[in-house]
Amino acid sequence: MKILITGINGFVGTNFTNSWFRNHKIVGLDIHQPEKEGVERIFGWDELGKVPPVDAIVHLAGKAHDTKNRSEAQVYFDVNTGLTQKIFDYFLQSDTRTFIFFSSVKAAADSVPGDVLTEEVVPAPVGPYGESKIRAEEYILNKLSAVSDQLLDKRVYILRPCMIHGPGNKGNLNLLYSVVKKGIPWPLGAYENRRSFCSIENISYVVEQLIVKENIASDIYHVGDDEPLSTNELIGLISKSVGKKSRIWKLPKGLMDAAASVGGTLKLPLNKERLRKLTENYVVSNVKIKQALGIEKMPVSAKEGMRKTLESFR
């Protein structure tokens, strides 16, 4: 297959290229155009008309979630919504058969209503990141309904992955890794929260299957590892990776709640909202995508995928 990857220089795009270039021809679309091993050529967004015919478009380009909330809201809509509109319009006018848009579980819900987040949830994003992603989803779906008769031979997939991790990953996982590596105790051990993650190997497998298989229905799919991990389990895996003993303090929840209340008043790092984010459950179902692919489990278990990521940090 010949595959166009937008945002090819990013963490996910780089890993996809490394996984696919031996079996497929890869071209890229990005704001920077360096030579890249395994890539025939990277085009700029102003060169979209020069991109050769491809079998599939994997749209990764976007403004990542800024956990420090320093980014202007409009930037998310300019990039996450605007670029999606541009590349999807290009797809509709081209002979490309398959379009895969990387949205996010944050487009569906900032916090999981109930026990598990499924595709049936009514989207209720909070903040410009999730809102810009759902706006992009809505654009795709509205366009599809308007031109459905012309799209009999096209397939469109909207993927909502959990937090993707792997070699080259940057973000909160790296921050937690550095905290554990320094021997700093984790004070929230009393909270047995469980979260879904997504290893780069599993998401790479899913996307490649969507490209090469002809019989998978166009739809919205959540993507994540089979098993959620608790923060305590994650700290245990990091500790093992760095050769340190886990330092998990199970301080009383009431004490931590009180500290968060005081922290909010005094503008300290720990406040009620941050405590909620650090201790809430966020479990995502991957049943629908596995049924569509005809598999019982993902290629890599959650713990094995996390172990490989942590090894890459070393």
**How confident is the model over 4-60, as pLDDT tens digits?**
999 999 999 999 999 999 999 999 999 999 999 999 999 999 999 999 999 999 999
- Flag whether 255 is in a domain: no
Average the pLDDT over 198-218 and give the result: 96
Average the pLDDT over 259-285 and give the result: 85
Residue 70 has pLDDT above 80, yes or no: no
- Flag whether 186 is in a domain: no
Q: Are 135 and 123 in contact (CB under 8 A)?
A: no
Residue 67 has pLDDT above 70, yes or no: no
- Flag whether 311 is in a domain: no
Confidence of residue 276 (pLDDT cuts 50, 70, 90): confident
Among the ranges given (23-27, 106-110, 171-175, 228-232), the one the predictor scored with the smallest mean pLDDT: 171-175
- Flag whether 190 is in a domain: no
Confidence of residue 72 (pLDDT cuts 50, 70, 90): confident
Count CA atoms closer than 13 A to 169's CA, side-chain side. 26
% of the chain surpassing 70 pLDDT: 96
What pTM was computed for the model? 0.93
Would you call 28 helix, strand, or coil by DSSP?
strand
- Flag whether 276 is in a domain: no
213 Ramachandran zone, left/alpha/beta (phi>0; psi -120 to 50): beta
Among the ranges given (53-62, 221-230, 241-250), the one the predictor scored with the smallest mean pLDDT: 241-250
- Flag whether 95 is in a domain: yes
Average the pLDDT over 205-212 and give the result: 98
Confidence of residue 64 (pLDDT cuts 50, 70, 90): confident
Q: Output the domain CATH number for residue 106.
A: 3.40.50.720
- Flag whether 253 is in a domain: no
Please give the tally of structural domains in the chain.
1
Residue 71 has pLDDT above 70, yes or no: no
- Flag whether 218 is in a domain: yes
Please give the angle made by the CA atoms of 230, 172 and 102, to the nearest 5 degrees.
Answer: 95
Residue 249 has pLDDT above 80, yes or no: yes
pLDDT at position 269: 73
Confidence of residue 262 (pLDDT cuts 50, 70, 90): confident
pLDDT at position 268: 73
Q: Are 127 and 63 in contact (CB under 8 A)?
A: no
pLDDT at position 22: 96
Q: Domain range holding 160? A: 2-170+197-225+283-300
CA distances from 142 to 77, 132, 135, 139, 290 (A): 17, 15, 10, 5, 26
- For residue 165, the surrounding DSSP H or E stretch is strand 163-165
pLDDT at position 50: 96
